[in-house]
Amino acid sequence: MPQVHLCEVGPRDGLQNAKHLMSTEAKKAWIAALADAGLREIEVGSFVPPKLIPAMADTAEIVAFSRKIAGVKIVALAPNLKGFQRAVEAGAHKVTFPVSASRLHSESNVRMTPEQMIEEVHRCVSHPHPGVEIEGAVSTAFGCTMQGEVPEDDVVRIAAELASFCDAVALADTVGYANPAQVKRIFSRVREKIGGKLEGAHFHNTRGLGLANALAAYEVGVRAFDSSMGGLGGCPFAPGASGNVITEDLVFMFESMGISTGIDLAKLFKAREILVSAIPEEPVYGHTPVAGLPKGFRAAA
Amino acid sequence: MPQVHLCEVGPRDGLQNAKHLMSTEAKKAWIAALADAGLREIEVGSFVPPKLIPAMADTAEIVAFSRKIAGVKIVALAPNLKGFQRAVEAGAHKVTFPVSASRLHSESNVRMTPEQMIEEVHRCVSHPHPGVEIEGAVSTAFGCTMQGEVPEDDVVRIAAELASFCDAVALADTVGYANPAQVKRIFSRVREKIGGKLEGAHFHNTRGLGLANALAAYEVGVRAFDSSMGGLGGCPFAPGASGNVITEDLVFMFESMGISTGIDLAKLFKAREILVSAIPEEPVYGHTPVAGLPKGFRAAA
């Protein structure tokens, strides 16, 4: 069993915010390569109106394809009941609902207060979803480009409310405001409140602190991390918030520390080649694939 | 008093390894701007043969200029006696000697074993150097592109030998191989051996782990860090080893954690503009200057 669990969010958070569209066939090849590299959870798309976000128009087909890959948990994002029902129909193993802890971001993004959005998620998941895992993701949990500071008490309260009816709760630094001290403080506070239901950490690399924040989260017991190949991604509703934490560098960090990820770096770099050739104009980040692995590098046992 | 002390090494480690030459006048303007931003220690150049490294040919003039800036410790690198004497004559407040812990790197770089290089440094500093601080910097302390793994025992032994006659000892990840677990382990072992003489941590960002490694070092008590504006730098004798840890992002990380650096980020970004306009063709890195400071950001008190 790997010591940390990574969820690759590039096909969703990455492509949803990329400037260039990836073809359905390329998405399938990329996802298959990611699974082959050892990713055991992949967020493959979101069920949002195709007119609003054309990059996600093929999500049902992508979910149907991906769920056939043995041993990989397929995640889809849903912002509302319609999206949730489409996700369940398509066969997603897990559905994640974003709930913004920032009042301003929530109102601007979904025209609901955080409390209304929690109610909305509650309504959604009271509909049938046999065998489908539900995650409540607290977004803008570390700050917001509109509101600035997001009170930690709000984050803890929203996480606790989501934990009361979701299978798992994640905390997301949607706009890249988090710092390691804050990461340790907030994850510790939320864990104290909801225990094992606190799972994933979703960081962005907007100010270069992605790996430092992941390290900080690891040090307070977080063992599940979202990341995006090539650092693709961001939030279109939060200006300047580009760049998820980079999968390649995150895997390298953990493996070089002797913490197993279950991911094969050589195969991961091959998956990156598929990404790069599918959308060659898109900026793709990551130091480790460029510098290469250290001489004599050994992955964690 | 700032809670962490940063030494800006861009004018030395950065420019020494940059593809483009910076004029002497631009160097002076940049160094003055760095000092104005609050940097209290700047490695301004190295005393190496100008024919080998033209970028450092004006180091004596730069040291003479820089030492007039009140309250800033001016550092120069010297690889041998001749360089040391030039550094002392020029008026450097501190001279740093690199001693590679990697046998192969040392033999290739200075044609001496690490033991011979320690002897050489010892011989140098037995020459008069009134009021000049001596630092022994253990380079390739976390791995080497030629040798691969560098035994930790070698690093501890070399650090201890340097500590027996130097004022301070630093550990450098010359080629960007370090990981946070290793950083904590090696800094702790060396501190156990030499106590307060262990000062600086010099990290590269070659595999994206620069800030994570700095965080790890901070967590085991390190309070002095080298960094380079725009992540300029690397080691010409270690292929692929480009990029020091980025001053702008390092300052942002610490300040956002509430750890004071004494550095004004707005003024730091102005110093970056001088760097960029002086060598516009040179790749300059750093996320925070591009993304900007978070809304409502407050520097550490």
Query: What are the extents of the domains in chain A?
Result: 5-291
Smallest Cβ–Cβ distance between A215 and the set B216, B287, B295 belongs to: B216
pLDDT category, A85, cuts 50, 70, 90? very high
Vertex A9, ends A3 and A13: CA angle to 5°?
150
Q: Of the spans A238-242, B176-180, B242-246, which averages the highest pLDDT? A: B176-180
pLDDT confidence of residue B260: 98
In this predicted structure, what is the pLDDT of residue A4? 98
Query: What tokens were used for B148?
Result: 């691969």
Mark yes or no for CB contact B148/A246 under 8 Å. Answer: no
Count the helix, strand and coil residues of chain A and give each as a percent rounded to the nearest 5: 45, 15, 40
A233 pLDDT more than 90: no
When mean pLDDT is compared across A15-29, A241-255, B95-109, B257-271, the lowest value belongs to A241-255
The total of other beta-carbon atoms located within 10 Å of residue B267's CB is 16
- Angle B148-B152-B153 (CA atoms, 0-180°, nearest 5)? 125
Predicted confidence at residue A161, as pLDDT, reads 98
CA-derived radius of gyration, chain A:
18
CB count, 10 Å around CB of A277? 11
Q: Residue A191 burial (CB < 10 Å; 0-12/13-18/19+)? A: middle
**A117 within 8 A of A99, measured Cβ to Cβ:** yes
**Residue A102 has which token pair?**
């920032």
**Does A294 contact B147 at a Cβ distance shorter than 8 Å?**
no
Q: What is the pTM of this model?
A: 0.96
Rounded CA gap, B222 and B173, in Å? 15
Chain B residue with minimum CA distance to A212: B212
Q: Hey, is the C-beta of B247 within 8 angstroms of any chain A C-beta? A: no
Per the prediction, chain B carries an average pLDDT of 95
Residue whose C-alpha is closest to residue B233's, from B262, B198, B203, B263: B203
A299 touching B (Cβ < 8 Å):
no
C-alpha distances (whole Å) from B154 to each of A193, A266, A294, B141 are 46, 31, 19, 9
Evaluate whether B299 touches B265 at the Cβ level (below 8 Å): yes
Give yes or no for A144 touching B (CB within 8 A): yes
Q: What is the pLDDT of residue A234?
A: 62
Cα-flanking dihedrals φ and ψ of residue A201, to 5°? Answer: -115, 125
pLDDT at A218: 98
By the 8 A CB rule, do B43 and B27 touch?
A: no
Contacts of A257 in chain B (CB under 8 A): 179-182
Structure tokens at B90: 């020029």
Q: What is the mean pLDDT of residues A108-134?
A: 96
Which residue in A148, A212, A288 is closest to B215 by CB distance? A212
Dump pLDDT digits (tens) for A247-295.
999 999 999 999 999 999 999 999 999 999 999 988 888 899 989 999 9
Is the pLDDT score of A239 beyond 60? Answer: no
B176-195 mean pLDDT: 98
Superfamily of domain A5-291: Aldolase class I (3.20.20.70)
Q: Give the alpha-carbon dihedral of B146, B148, B152, B156, to 10 degrees.
A: 10
**Residue B12: closest CA among B207, B279, B285, B227:** B227
Q: What angle do CA B9, B10, B14 make, to 5 degrees?
A: 115
Q: Judge: B179–A256 Cβ closer than 8 Å, yes or no.
A: yes
The pLDDT of residue B242 is 64
Chain A: give the shortest CA distance to residue B162, in Å: 27
Which of A209, A220, A248 would you mutate first to test chain B, the one with the most B CBs within 10 A? Answer: A209
